[in-house]
Chains A and B, each alone.
Chain A
């Protein structure tokens, strides 16, 4: 019997360490898009909470652990959220779509992580505005992405899998620019 070999979206592209910043690929485990049907957000949230311990998040918010493969859920658009790190339970009142292979997920970590992202994304990343657990659908360079703050100096970017090369290239160039600026001072 044939055996198919799995390849990750950023295989051969990551990790990177530039200046004070590292960029690594995240294996989020199973990734499931959940979109509750009309009037079913609460019921879906309750069912999720009972099964995996996290409910359905408010807009621009995440719930659950941000480290490791423990269950967490990330809002990702109107009436939609992505459950990561856990198999999705049976949710009869929601559309459930497997997205485990759809996203390139990278983590940007380090003292200059926000400075690197500020080269690429128009959203306000200041501590007062974008705290740990906050998330946004926005742009990184020309790509539509989801950006989540997962730590004091740590952010996750989810981009289309097919754009992994461009994502890494753009992050690399931005990190190089930030590091070269630091060297100027």
Chain B
């Protein structure tokens, strides 16, 4: 009910399909209350009717779903949703309707559904849990749901930096920001609310003789005018991390009907200093049936009244253990709302105004199915019933210490305010001020905000001045009151449906540690992380276990302070945004030819180039293999890592990182090299060319380029800083194309300015060439076993050269080939890739042990000689050939002696690479088999349990085509 005429623009919105009116500045919660809507949701476990409890982000009950379709957003707290015209909100966890919720039968079964019920009941039979019990429980107990469609909204991530981060913009935060800002510090003020001011907006206090809300507005205006201050409203700091880094979630456009702007932004804010002014949260009292719609926090009642002009009831009662809550009665009466009584648990307390006061009082029962109707109280004068539709409760205030605990800080108990307060230095560089630090009057908050800012600004070398306005400085008088005896459940955690008896049961069953109690009862494990319930719960646990609250301690506060959507944290990473794409210079030409592009690390490479009439990839692949074996093929090999290595000690450096020798390589010659890890296993292989006396260019595999570069840095900086050598990646500088096949030289000579011949360009030679005046590099190397070259030009010419080479190749009866053909060509020749050198094999395993030179030391040399790494029983590289050429071999199959049971005890090795070889007319492969080199000709069975394939294969030499290598040299 709106009791103060609103000034904002009228708005319409719907809740569960019913249209309501609100005004600009409303939250969904204030607008619902203004319309007299009290029932807003069903509880998680028992489906009890629930209403709005708070006016802030700590709200445990009023979770709603907003929006529809892909942008449907569940579990949004109605108290934090800013109203806009056309907002559609729906209640959750109720079917068929909020008022008649079928699952409310759970509440009748409550005696059986106590804490630990699921664990005890559904343990057996084991298989039933995942298939039967869990789905049923998940459907019954629940929150809102996503749409199931891909998210269509934009989200954002961003970084910010400042000298001073002020977290929270209540009286302490604004004062801290003003003081630091006036001193010239670079300040960011982050506040979760759309309007800054904190409790000043919700109370009737004066500051400096001005209404608190007006003072706050002036302060915000002054801050906004400072170039060194950045205001971040709607931004909740969610976590405190190392080195002054904070996570923060900003609601960017959730408060407007439609926008291209991101819905939320996840900020990482780095601050030299931070001032935590997060305020305090009022806590409930656990009295019987304290969860009916209409029972809410006293501070929330004041907020709805003073900020939004909404009275949550017509006859309000108040139940409290402290002076602060009495102001609720005064504010309500000033607004003309009836106060039916204030029930104070303390004996010695005076009324602040003309309202019925019940001292030594307690609420022992409540009535009303979908909304509060009446309460039963006991007090010094006896027991009575009061008619009331709104009960404002206050068990005192908990300083919002959460962020101070994110780096393992533990708050300490302060008996005077019956709450936990932060310890100093819990977060390096952070000072806590205001109510978050246990300052409970406005004057004290303003004072401590200014003080904190002065301390911080002075540390930053500035000269701050504390200019603190006057404000109320009433003492905060409180006597502990956590629970009230009586018939009925006394709810503590409204969101996870945990009540006093659950906690007592936990203690009784010896889950007495607060961390155990939390997990046993699920208290504090809902999306509100127990913001309202934690302290009450551990006070009840302390009582049940006969310990004090300080000894009982708190559970661990972890980030995030409020729920953060995965979409915000992963902003920009949906779909292809997950990783950068590396495209070769020939990419567009390959795509234009219809080539399916496959990922190789971050690179995209053509799988094959389909021709009209080809039904399968295999047909295309066979044709492309034919190009290389019979004419000439062209393949973009730019993705291989290319590392330029220069320096007086370049040769010595290469001798150290490769297991074979490169200092003896002649200029303009290329050598195959094998690199070991420090543990003696193979890291990578590739060719390295010597371009000059002190100048080499190394190639790596596509997959390991980054790893090898890192390794070289490591070796140079950590192992051999004595060697004067420099290296740089030139992968991106050069577009490089393989030209392979009997016609390779003819093709090359059609594009090179100066023709090459076999005498000047023998196998494994290299040198400069020129193409239309462009300086390139030519390497006579082969990964196909054919007469082949790799031609490199600066990348700007890559696209042009690829089109030129493929056109010329086509004129010679060949053409472009892709990864599938490349793979077949290398398997036919027994050339290895990372399918073979997968990290667990040694040089010995691949038959290259003799390459590990014993005349010099190299990385991994000693480790490669370890016992066990040089034994015949190790699976070693072999070729495999299907005994019946048409029988398919599958990669990943394991090898067994014929007739042996195909179980791991009999495992002889495995298949690493397979293909159909059009050249040999057979399915072939590479694999590793125990004592392989001595088993040539043996028949063995490849068993693929995953695909259900068994193939009889012959063990053969890895090089199955042209074993003499005549074609390569020809």
Contacts and interface: CB of A to CB of B under 8 A. Distances in A.
A162 B580 CA distance: 9
A163 interface: yes
A65 interface: no
A31 to B, nearest CB: 9
Interface stretch (A51-59, A105-113, A116-124, A149-157): A116-124
A118 B162 CA distance: 13
A101 B585 CA distance: 11
B795 A161 contact: yes
A177 B582 contact: no
Contact of A118 (B159, B260, B800): B159
A4 B731 CA distance: 20
B259 interface: yes
A94 to B, nearest CB: 8
Contacts of A20: none
Which applies to chain B's interface (DSSP): helix, strand, loop or mixed?
A: mixed
A99 B797 contact: no
A100 interface: yes
B806 interface: no
B772 A180 contact: no
A37 B732 contact: no
Interface stretch (B332-340, B722-730, B945-953): B722-730
B772 A1 contact: yes
Nearest to A39: B724
Nearest to A122: B159
A100 B580 CA distance: 22
Contact of A184 (B252, B268, B602): B252
Most chain B C-beta atoms within 10 Å of own C-beta, residue among A4, A124, A177:
A4
B580 A163 contact: yes
Nearest to B156: A177
Interface in A31-67: 33, 35, 37-38
Nearest to B585: A7
Contact of B794 (A37, A95, A101, A124): A101
B800 A5 contact: yes
A183 B772 contact: no
A6 B796 contact: yes
Contacts of B160: 118
B85 to A, nearest CB: 15
B603 A124 contact: no
Interface in B253-280: 253, 256, 259-262, 268, 270
Contact of B646 (A95, A165, A166, A170): A95
B793 interface: yes
A161 B732 contact: yes
Contacts of B416: none
Contact of A99 (B262, B583, B726, B733): B733
A7 B796 contact: yes
Interface in B524-548: none
A80 B733 CA distance: 17
A102 interface: yes
A119 B728 contact: no
Contacts of B771: 2, 4
Sorting the interface of chain B by its residue count into under 10, 10 to 19, 20 to 34 or 35 or more gives: 35 or more
Interface size class, chain A: 35 or more
Residue of B253, B261, B580, B648 with most chain A CB atoms under a 10 A cut-off: B580
Contacts of B804: 2, 4
Given A2-B751, A124-B270, A183 B728 contact: no
Nearest to B648: A37
Contacts of A35: 646, 726, 728
B732 A102 contact: yes
A8 B796 contact: yes
A136 to B, nearest CB: 13
B647 A37 contact: yes
Interface string A71-86: 0000000011000000
Nearest to A125: B161
B568 to A, nearest CB: 12
Contact of A95 (B268, B584, B728): B728
B800 A100 contact: no
Nearest to A104: B732
B261 A183 contact: yes
- A101, A124, A126, A183 interface centre (most CB from chain B within 10 Å): A101
Interface string B147-168: 0000000101111110000000
Interface in A138-170: 141-143, 160-167, 170
Contacts of A3: 772-773
Contacts of B666: none
A108 to B, nearest CB: 15
Given A118-B160, A177-B262, A141 B572 contact: yes
Nearest to B750: A2
B380 to A, nearest CB: 56
Contact of A165 (B157, B161, B581, B732): B581
B801 A4 contact: yes
Contacts of A161: 732, 795
B845 interface: no
A83 to B, nearest CB: 13
A183 B725 CA distance: 53
Contact of A126 (B186, B584, B726, B734): B186
A34 B112 CA distance: 76
Contacts of A173: 154, 572
A122 B603 CA distance: 25
A119 B773 CA distance: 43
A37 B724 contact: yes
B156 A162 contact: no
A37 B793 contact: no
A9 B733 CA distance: 11
Contact of A4 (B259, B729, B800): B800
25 contacts: A1-B773, A2-B751, A3-B773, A4-B774, A4-B804, A7-B799, A8-B796, A35-B726, A95-B644, A95-B647, A95-B727, A97-B728, A99-B730, A101-B732, A102-B795, A119-B157, A119-B159, A122-B159, A123-B159, A125-B161, A161-B732, A162-B732, A177-B156, A180-B261, A181-B262
Interface of B: 154, 156-161, 186, 252-253, 256, 259-262, 268, 270, 572, 579-585, 602-603, 644, 646-648, 724, 726-734, 751, 753, 771-774, 793-801, 804
Q: Nearest 6 A-B pairs (CB), nearest first? A: A95-B726, A180-B261, A95-B646, A162-B582, A101-B795, A35-B726
Given A99-B732, A161-B795, A167-B580, 4 more contacts: A35-B726, A99-B730, A103-B732, A173-B572
Interface of A: 1-9, 33, 35, 37-38, 79-80, 94-103, 118-119, 121-126, 128-129, 141-143, 160-167, 170, 173-174, 176-177, 180-181, 183-184
